[in-house]
Chain A
Amino acid sequence: LTHPLLSSHPVPHPVLSPPLTSPPPLPPLLSSPLLSSPLLSSPLPLLSSPPSPLLSSSPLLSSPLLSSPLLSSPLLSPFVSSPLLSSLLSSPLSYPLSFLFHFSQRFTTVVPESCMLILLGLVLGGIVLLTSKKQLYQLEPGLFFLFLLPTIVGDAGYFMPARLFFDNLGAILLYAVSSCWGSGVQAGLMEFLLFGALISAVDPVAVLAVFEEVHVNETLFIIVFGESLLNDAVTVVLYKVYMSFVEVGPENVQTADYFKGVASFLIVSIGGTMVGLIFAALLAFITRFTKKVRIIEPLLVFLMVYLAYLTAELFSLSAILSMTFCGIGCNKYVEANISQKSRTTVKYTMKTLASIAETIIFIFLGISAVDKSKWAWDTGLISCTLIFIFVFRALGVVMQTWVLNWFRLVPLDKIDQVVMSYGGLRGAVAFALVVLLDAERVPAKDYFVATTIIVVFFTVMFQGLTIKPLVNWLKVPRATNRKPTINEEIHERAFDHCLTAVEDIAGLNGYHHWRDKWEQFDKNYLSKLLLRKSVYRKSELWEVYQKINIRDAISVIDQGGNVLTSARLSLPSMASRASFPEVTNVTNYLRENGSGVCLDLQVIDNVPGAKVEEESETHHFLAGNLYKPRRRQTLHDSGDHERQDREIFQRNMKSRMETFKTTRHKRHSHKKDRSQKKRRGSDVKEQDLNDKPRRNVSWQDKDPVVVPVESEDEKGEHLEPEKEEDVGITFVARKVPDTPKERPKSVPAGLEVCQSPSVAPPSPTCSERNLPWKGGIGTLPVCVSMEATKIIPIDLQQAWNQSISSLESLASPPGPVEPLHPRVSALSRLGGQRPVSYSGSGVSGSGFGSRGAGSIVAQGIARFEFPPGGEEKDEEEGALSDQEQELQPLMSSSVRPPGPPPPPPLAQGLGRRRNPCVYLRSLVTAPPPGSEPLARSRGPTQL
């Protein structure tokens, strides 16, 4: 999809042809120079040829998008093959250039990309000029307005954070409109008015380029950027107005004409906005029905947004405004309607197109600047203009801010104002407009061009270069990329409710009132009309959070995948089936604890992505169900519908939960357990059996099944090594059921798995034992422990402790693993609290705790605890005791506890819950002095 668009041949043409071939049906209120045809007739070669070598030659033209595979081979080949270019540029120049840019990679962190591009354009322009004596490429207005600008504006509009935009709309409007009118700097001649209009507009392209790199906080960004975006529209409108004045001639302009100018300004901007909104609605409505043909969704988005632009242009309305508002308006609904893949496609294609357009514009700017024939130097004009735009910008900002701050809740302070005035970059729009001037009607055009070029250069180069240090120096609050937490979400809603309530109490109709009204309307009518039924029920935050969560999930899974592969690599010989899922789980577990999201201990027993899934679901619940202020009202209004939807929603959720077997379920079952634990008995047993597949508890059941087979006869007679192997077996057997895919329930499976440890020659002494496994263990920690050491902040210690203790409890009889470098350090750091929590669980852990007491005592730290077999005990008593007997010799100094005392009910719950984490503990523990061989053999087995 992107290809046709990018290369612009097949797709836009049909769309373009009507406006291009037929003169505008309505006699434009003011002349619309943009559509003048000769320029448009040949946009394609212009678009295609010049940029390509540049793109190919400079992979680092800063934006990563440019280096995307999209651009790399297929697209460029036709362009590069164009004779002129290849002869001139591609082969001899591109390589040196790319080297140059590679070399200066450090440079790019300091210099904004727009500066680089302009410089590049200058160089290229110089070269071209030298070779051909005549400028071959120029920024043609037609190209600019029909292709380059729309891509940039469309991107900006579509991804404009709507709420932020409208929250700051007042400020944006004020700045946008008045700054344009305000700095019609050099009054007097109409031409100067004209020039003032076009030079005073802050350019979204430049602003975007610079501000995105600077990462100022989002309010500042949205104000400046929104201003520049609307500014553009205003500028173009004003430009047309003045243009018509100039055409008529100043002496013929009557007072009425000025009013006409104002009126036309209003009509043009409002009309443009309306067109945009109409198209937005249309687009949203269409995407409602694309369920069967997902493939056209991105195309639809592009076409409709572009169509909004063209239509507005056709009617001589403000195309930029139209496109911006089309983007803003449709975003919410379209994003909700189209599929995830389409969303991604739209996003990246748009961003890519926008960066390409930006790149092209700046390069052209550079190229055009070289051609002396195009401009005439006038020092006075240039210096005056520079001073004026700077002074007026600052003045305007200060004055307007002063007015605005009366109305703003959070006033813009001085620093913001400085950045705002300093961020007033002029750019390509002004340049394109000035180039567009008709030299016959505006004799001073050449001077204007020169001035504009200088101004653009100065603002982009000088200000663009210095704004970053300035922002640093002024300590402007930067944008934070922190993900919203549940706390914030809840509190925000609560605050919203609170404000609304206070408004009600004080009997006011404030901003919140109107926003509620709008949301109400949106919910009751617009969303119903424009959103698919399936998504209608979700709140508007839904999609946003879904996106965030999907991104998180992807990144987590990616990392998990890495761990997986690395684990696989490190342990090629291991019985991989059992160990991989385990490793991944552990990693996820660690990570998630570390990131403070959820400390639930059962996570480990889920499939890798389950935790993420649950997180996103929780988000969804919040986003989808937290009430907007006064949402209840709607409930009353359309009760039936609501209920129906809710039912569907819940059912969906249920099914999803079933699928993923998230923690919630488990928690639920635990709850049941807890409630039932007091009257422990056959009921509980049954339940446990039922739960078995889902929970890790199952290993307890498995143990007896797997272990005894091997060990029953050999119990007493086994040598230690063999017993170790047995333990290894038990362990593997335990874990295996956890993995969703393969659950070797049968003995053979267990045996098969446990063959691997026996491959390694069992050695009697501890030291010898350690050696063979060191490699294996050493490698794994790298995957896991990095997470552990780095992530866990103090406030998570509790969680960590919990997990550790749970792990300990699961680690049960086995001795500790050998020293694991990073992980150990992480743990020891946390060590202070660990024992406490651990001992708590130890006490509660009862059953096996007491059994494992021997080993615990021996090691000084109460580290291992056998998870209480509580309910199963009656059933499995025999099996367990078998196991214990096996284990007994292994626990070096352990006194064999008699029968496992019945664990206190709570303990069971805990122990149970913690079962899943068995393995981690073994990975994590510090080596005890006289470590037991058992654990060692087991560790490797797992790994």
Chain B
Amino acid sequence: MGSTNSTLSKIPNVEELMQETGFTPAHIVRLYDRFEALDKEKTGHLRPQDFGAINRLAMNPIGDRIIGAFFSPGQETVDFHSFVRTLAHFRPVDKKRPKDPSMPEPVNSRTSKLKFAFQLYDQDKDGKISRAELLQVLRSMLEMQVTEEQLESIADRTIQEADLDKDDAISFEEFRKVPPARALRLTYQHGAFAAQGTQNTKTCKVHAHRK
């Protein structure tokens, strides 16, 4: 516990951060350690290259997009607070959280999770997944195993399937409509989506923040 406290004291505004993200001190410490490990040059900021240094991430077809999601537009670096805030998307949904309309939507709500996922597709941030953007994602996930033609027909089909307002693009509203079709499975997906970021930290109990 002593080490926990000492680490916590190194982080500025740690209380606020915990309040905002819902992480427990143990989480924060764990993430801080990880952050420092990634931050090889000890600048207190992570650059895209630092993320790129993670081996397995480099093999992830949409890894660069996820890295991109950590960086707010126009910024070259991410500090610990933003880092934690981004990861907080992956916390499980707080079911018990009292509905407080005055509070902003918690970052780990289902909507913001979906939003996060949506942004992975929507690279130009125009609020729509265009055909080209979808094609890009598909291409990176499918690699070169299928021909461009096939990719396009898949993309066309996907958009037609989801596109409710016929603008040849998937808006966020449409995007969030699609998954519930097989609600259960995808809820699990989101659940898993939610928790992995923090749940498996060996230093802390998952349920610690459940209360």
Interface residues of A (CB under 8 A from B): 167, 217-219, 405-407, 409-411, 477, 480, 482, 484-488, 490-512, 596-600, 614, 618, 621-622, 624-627, 629-630, 632-633, 635-636, 646, 649-650, 653, 663-664, 667-668, 794-795, 797-799
Contact = CB atoms under 8 A, between A and B. Distances in A.
B205 interface: yes
B160 A599 contact: yes
Given A506-B31, A650-B145, 18 more contacts: A406-B207, A484-B182, A485-B161, A485-B181, A487-B162, A488-B185, A490-B137, A495-B117, A495-B193, A497-B60, A506-B87, A596-B161, A614-B153, A632-B61, A650-B146, A664-B153, A667-B152, A798-B163
Contacts of B199: 409, 510
Interface string B86-121: 010010100100000000000000000000010011
B59 A646 contact: no
Contacts of A629: 60
A487 B160 CA distance: 10
B68 to A, nearest CB: 11
Contacts of B198: 506
Given A494-B117, A494-B137, A409 B188 contact: yes
Contact of A625 (B37, B142, B210): B142
B60 A487 contact: no
Interface stretch (B3-11, B14-22, B50-58): B50-58
B43 interface: no
B145 to A, nearest CB: 4
B66 A502 contact: yes
Contacts of A794: 164
B183 interface: yes
B191 A409 contact: yes
B49 interface: no
Contacts of A798: 163, 166
Interface in B150-166: 150, 152-154, 156-158, 160-164, 166
Contact of B178 (A491, A504, A618, A621): A491
Contacts of B162: 487
Contacts of B194: 409
25 contacts: A406-B210, A409-B92, A480-B183, A485-B182, A488-B185, A495-B189, A498-B117, A499-B193, A500-B60, A501-B62, A506-B198, A508-B196, A511-B200, A597-B161, A618-B157, A621-B145, A621-B150, A624-B145, A625-B145, A626-B142, A627-B141, A630-B60, A632-B143, A646-B145, A650-B146
Nearest to A624: B145
B205 A406 contact: yes
B42 interface: no
Contact of A487 (B38, B153, B161): B161
A618 B196 contact: no
A231 to B, nearest CB: 24
A621 B146 contact: yes
Given A406-B206, A512-B192, A498 B166 contact: no
B57 to A, nearest CB: 5
A512 B189 CA distance: 11
Contacts of A650: 145-147
Among B57, B196, B206, the one with the most A-chain Cβ atoms within 10 Å of its Cβ is B196
Contacts of A622: 142, 154
A444 B178 CA distance: 60
Q: What 7 A-B pairs are tightest by C-beta distance, nearest first?
A: A510-B200, A409-B191, A798-B166, A625-B145, A406-B207, A501-B66, A410-B191
B142 A621 contact: yes
Contacts of B191: 409-410
B132 interface: no
Given A484-B182, A508-B196, A625-B145, A491 B117 contact: yes
A502 B196 contact: yes
A685 B188 CA distance: 54
B143 A625 contact: yes
Nearest to B62: A497
A626 B151 CA distance: 11
Contacts of B156: 600
Contact of B54 (A492, A505, A509, A512): A505
Interface of B: 31, 34, 37-38, 51, 54, 56-57, 59-63, 66, 87, 90, 92, 95, 117, 120-121, 137-138, 141-143, 145-147, 149-150, 152-154, 156-158, 160-164, 166, 178-179, 181-201, 205-207, 210
Nearest to A801: B166
Contacts of A493: 141
Contacts of B121: 494
Contacts of A497: 60-63, 66, 141
A627 B188 contact: no
Contacts of A509: 200
Contacts of B56: 500, 504, 630, 633
Given A409-B195, A502-B90, A491 B145 contact: no
Given A487-B161, A501-B57, A410 B188 contact: yes
B186 A488 contact: yes
Nearest to B189: A495
Nearest to A497: B62
A486 B51 contact: no
Contacts of A624: 145
Contact of A480 (B38, B92, B182): B182
Contacts of A799: 160
Contacts of B147: 650
Contacts of A653: 150
Given A500-B60, A621-B146, A646-B145, A663 B158 contact: no
A624 B141 CA distance: 11
Contact of B120 (A477, A484, A498, A598): A498
Contact of A486 (B92, B146, B157): B157
B25 to A, nearest CB: 16
A626 B141 contact: yes
Contacts of B60: 497, 500-501, 504, 629-630, 632
Given A494-B137, A506-B31, A486 B193 contact: no
B80 to A, nearest CB: 13
A488 B192 CA distance: 16
Nearest to A503: B196
Nearest to B113: A495
Among B149, B152, B158, the one with the most A-chain Cβ atoms within 10 Å of its Cβ is B158
A242 to B, nearest CB: 36
B182 to A, nearest CB: 6
Nearest to A492: B189
A508 B166 CA distance: 42
B62 A498 contact: yes
A500 B87 CA distance: 13
A503 B31 CA distance: 12
A486 B186 CA distance: 13
Nearest to A614: B153
Given A502-B90, A630-B56, A487 B187 contact: no
B91 to A, nearest CB: 11
Contacts of B186: 488, 491-492
